[in-house]
Structure 1
Amino acid sequence: MKLGILADAHGNLAAFERALTELADEADEVLVAGDAFSDHRFSNEIVKLIRCAGAHYVLGNHELSFLSPANARARESSRVSRLELDFVSRAPTELRVRLGGMRVLMVHGSPWPPYGRYLDPGSPEFDHADELDADLVVLGHTHLPMARRVRGTLVVNPGSVGMSDQPGLGDSVGYALADTGSGEVSFRTFPNPRRAS
């Protein structure tokens, strides 16, 4: 089974649509590891794409901020679709599911408390990833692509599909494709359509 893995769209609809289009013929399942939109700007379009694709989805820190009491007024805006807001409101912050025979754990930030931490690819916490009772751990938050195997556990961060702030990638955004059979992970990048001239 092939898993399309996306995170951190931050409302970049054109990039998110392109990634989903590219994955349509390859991925058996799609996982979205949070921050589909930025906390100050809800994206009806991206949320609808996630919902209609039947993607596995967890909330990121930006969704949690939007759902917080401080953003009650923003949620009442006539521009926010009630259907899409209800979908986001019901989404979890942690998802455990079995896909392609793998036990998958998906979160946005750290799988260990405090959950909002930024764990870069070299973070020593990942040395204990095999203690998470998962074969595949998916996360986002840092916008840094990584695939790291710790004994029997594979940890994947697809990078950001919405923001070009990854060192060395210039104006590129991207996502990952993981094969549950072989354990191989490939990273796909393309020019950020927000910055196209």
Structure 2
Amino acid sequence: MKIGVISDIHANAPALRVVLDGLVESGVDQILCAGDAVGYYPFPNEVVSLLQKHDVRSIIGNHDAAVLDETPSEFSINAKRAADWTRRQLTPESKAYLKSLHLAFEETIDDREIYMVHGSPDDPLNEYIWEEEVNERALDFWFDDRPELVILGHTHRPFVKEISSTTVLNPGSVGQPRDRNPRSAFAVVDLETLAVNRYRVDYDIDAVADKTGEYLPRKLADRLYEGR
């Protein structure tokens, strides 16, 4: 069985459509999302609709939570403006979807124990976990019984790391990559072997940037071209 893994879409529907096409072409049986469906970009309802259409199993991210409640004070000014704008745009159906999302995903799929969280097991919404921080000590701190696959998001920077019998994966960001590569990121995991294939795909950045500039800070559009 193969699963697709995505994260940090941030209301970038054109990017998500290309990624979903790639996952379908890869023959995945199921898609998991490590949170932040919305925030930053101008297609929140379209993204929620696409996730539902493709039966994507998602958890909540910090930007998803922010648009359902009061915008966190620690958000940057551009993130605050985007969250406040998004809150006003969401349909009742989209709000209900976001409210239904859990903080963490813990399930056995095809005999593999999978744990997925947006930030970290210790702080599901807000802690950034970078590749260099993933080691034996971190896994021992997070888990009494280690899962075989741990999926993280939030940093917008992809990595995969094998620590003993546990594979730790961050698929990177669909909608706002921050590793100086502007192409959308996603991953496919073969659960039989736990082999991970990572992908980058182009999408129409101009279309997203132009629409973003109509409603949201131009800096959010400009950063898409640089992958930062």
Q: Provide the TM-score with structure 1 as the length reference.
A: 0.87
**CA RMSD after TM alignment:** 2.6
Distance 1:146 1:67, change over 3 A: same
1:52-101 Cα shifts (integer Å, max 9, x gaps)? 22211001110111111359986774x42211210110110111111121
Aligned to 1:14: 14
CA contact (8 A) 1:47 1:84 kept: yes
Whether contact under 8 Å (1:145, 1:157) holds in the other structure is yes
In the other structure, the counterpart of 1:143 is: 156
Letter in 1 for 2:148: D
Structure 2: where are the runs of 5+ without partners?
A: 73-82, 208-224
Shift of 1:3: 0.9
Aligned match of 2:104 = 94
Q: Given the alignment, which residue of 130, 133, 136 partners 1:120?
A: 130
Q: Name the residue aligned to 2:213.
A: none
Give the residue type in structure 1 aligned to 2:104: E
Give deviations 1:112-140, integer Å, cap 9, x for gaps. Answer: 23751111111156643266331111111
> CA separation of 1:39/1:67 partners in 2, compared to 1, >3 Å: closer, same or farther?
farther
Letter in 2 for 1:83: E
Determine the structure 1 residue equivalent to 2:175. 162
% identity of equivalent residues: 28
Aligned to 2:76: none
Q: TM-score, normalised by structure 2?
A: 0.76
Q: Does 1:194 align with 2:205?
A: yes
Letter in 1 for 2:112: M
CA distance in 2, matches of 1:94, 1:190: 27
Aligned-partner Cα distance in 2 for 1:73–1:173: 25
> Are 2:121 and 1:108 aligned?
no
Which whole-Å CA distance do the structure 1 matches of 2:134 and 2:167 have between them?
15
1:180, distance to aligned residue in structure 2 (A): 0.6
Aligned pairs, how many? 194
Match of 2:198, SS state, is strand
Rounded to whole Å, the distance in 2 between the matches of 1:114 and 1:83 is: 24
Task: Give the gaps of 5 or more residues in structure 1.
Answer: none
Question: After TM superposition, where is structure 1 displaced by more than 2 Å over at least 4 residues in a row?
Answer: 39-42, 69-77, 124-133
- Greater fraction helix: 2
Instruction: Say which is worse superposed, 107-116 or 175-184, in terms of deviation.
Output: 107-116
Q: Which residue of 2 aligns with 1:47?
A: 48
CA distance in 2, matches of 1:90, 1:13: 20
